[in-house]
Amino acid sequence: MRTLTIAILAVAACREPSPPGFSTGPGVTTASASTSTSSTGGDTSSTGPADDSAGMDSAGESTTGLLRDVGATVDFGSAQPPGCKGKVDLLFLISRYVSMESEQTQLLASFPGFVDTIQEKLADFDVHIMAANPDPGWAGWVCEKLCKQPPELNCDEDGYICNDLAWDVTACDETIGAGAIFNAGAGAANRHCALYGGNRYIVQGEPDMDDALECIAKVGWSGDNNIGDAVIAAVKPAINADGGCNAGFLRDDALLVLVIIADSGDASDSYPYEQYNAVVAAKGGDAGAVVVLHVTGREDTGEPHEPGCSYQPDHIIKLRQLGMMFPFYLEGDTCAPSYAPFFDAATDLIGEACSSFIPG
């Protein structure tokens, strides 16, 4: 049975009401400082404390305490927590490494659920949604090079149309961390995303949310996996400032929800602590202003593998270490038939995070 592990480390002793648009959520767990593991349905995972040390010892192992259930998130009706001003920035980082081909079915199946959750639970929020380019460069160049090879090496059968798209590539399309509105290559959208508002991200008022979300998030499998580097790039002030590729996306007074979908290890040159520091700096030094959902491959425990699933020889991988540093962290399984339930659970954390997020 597939399991969903939720690890929420408390950042405030007292919890304020959840914002409108949120119903009763899943059980909330907090961590004590002295015990070690939590299990769900027999699977075990560890979380790190909410500080710069990330709860890792020199061997890269977690030093966190036993998680204990302290109740459920409550629907307080129309009460708006003073620390949340109704703004949420959703940042998707989706690997386009070749191993993601097997996960495309699940990802595609998730889009309707993602949209339902946004429209139902975040209806009262001013939401920005962006899928950042996970690599330096435009993925379509990989297929353009293969177009010059024998037919059996072409990307045509995976949806890419050779010699038809490359003429329209811009500098931002080739910039790591920039909003992806021209995903190209094997299994990708292979078209421009005409987003309402003319930005490289979705804003409130988007008339066709289903199509817009699929277009920006269908990155395909013709690239590498530099998710950590892309996280740093996407939150830099310059790229979000006037004139930058993502101008206006990241807002000082908005809660940041970071959604990472990757079934393999991170190929970034940066380290988790550098990625964490960049994100926290972008949120004014407040790690509690960030909710992280990480959908990842399974830990390889030596048991027989399920066909089509990705397994990690060491589940304490770089991207997981990054997620575990934050006080609001949830982990999902790339082998699940749909990732929508994980996203649904992550949005339940937004009300929890809003209760303590007070923009400067």
Report the chain's mean pLDDT, rounded to a whole number.
Answer: 77
- How far apart CA 191 and CA 173 sit, in angstroms, is 12
185 vs 293, higher pLDDT:
293
- How far apart CA 122 and CA 19 sit, in angstroms, is 10
Where does the pLDDT of residue 41 fall: very low under 50, low under 70, confident under 90, or very high at 90 and above?
A: very low
- How far apart CA 101 and CA 222 sit, in angstroms, is 9
Query: Quick check: 214 pLDDT over 60?
Result: yes
**Cβ 28 vs Cβ 70: under 8 Å:** yes
Question: Which of 12-16, 189-193, 269-273 has the lowest average pLDDT?
Answer: 12-16
Segment 220-268, tens digit of pLDDT: 988 888 999 999 999 999 999 999 999 999 999 999 999 999 988 788 9
132 vs 320, higher pLDDT:
132
Highest mean pLDDT of the ranges 10-19, 105-114, 207-216, 298-307:
207-216
67 vs 126, higher pLDDT:
126
% the chain with pLDDT above 90 = 46
Structural domains in the chain, CATH included, are 85-338 (3.40.50.410)
% the chain with pLDDT above 70 = 73
